[in-house]
Amino acid sequence: MGWVPKTFIEVITLRNIIKTIMMVKWVLMPLTLFFIRYWQEAQTLCRVVSQRLADAQSQSESLEIKYNKAKRLVREYQSRYLSNLSDPVISPTMWNTTPKLLGVSSVSKRM
């Protein structure tokens, strides 16, 4: 007979533990759902930011390619200009004397 009260007390203790667990469950369930929704929104935001970052990186790479091409073209034109300056046939110092060599005193009089 000594074990019956002990078992009865154990049953009551287990029933109280189950009630406490159920109360905690009802309190934690909305919080859990809230955090699940919050986590899903955070993941969506991370995907959007990641996509925008990838777009910005590809645009940056494209602009860098265009910039390097423009720099190369400017260097080519500068080198052509400098090589033309060193060419005695079309040197700027010859521009003023070229009409005299051709027998024309002024370009405006010719027109």
pLDDT at res. 9: 83
pLDDT of residue 110: 46
Q: What is the pLDDT of residues 67-96, one digit of tens each?
A: 999 999 999 999 888 888 776 555 555 555
Q: What is the largest CA-CA distance in the chain?
A: 141
More confident residue, 17 or 7: 17
- Residue 103 to residues 72, 76, 99, 100, Cα–Cα distance (Å): 41, 35, 6, 5
111: pLDDT confidence band, cut at 50, 70 and 90? very low
pTM: 0.48
Q: 7 CB contacts (<8 Å, ≥6 apart)?
A: none
pLDDT of residue 99: 52
Statement: residue 12 has pLDDT above 70: yes
* Residue 111 to residue 108: CA distance in whole angstroms: 5
Confidence of residue 15 (pLDDT cuts 50, 70, 90): very high
Residue 69 confidence (pLDDT): 96
* CA 53/CA 59 separation, integer angstroms: 10
In contact, 106 and 99? CB cutoff 8 Å? yes
11-40 CB burial, b ≥16 within 10 A, e <16? eeeeeeeeeeeeeeeeeeeeeeeeeeeeee
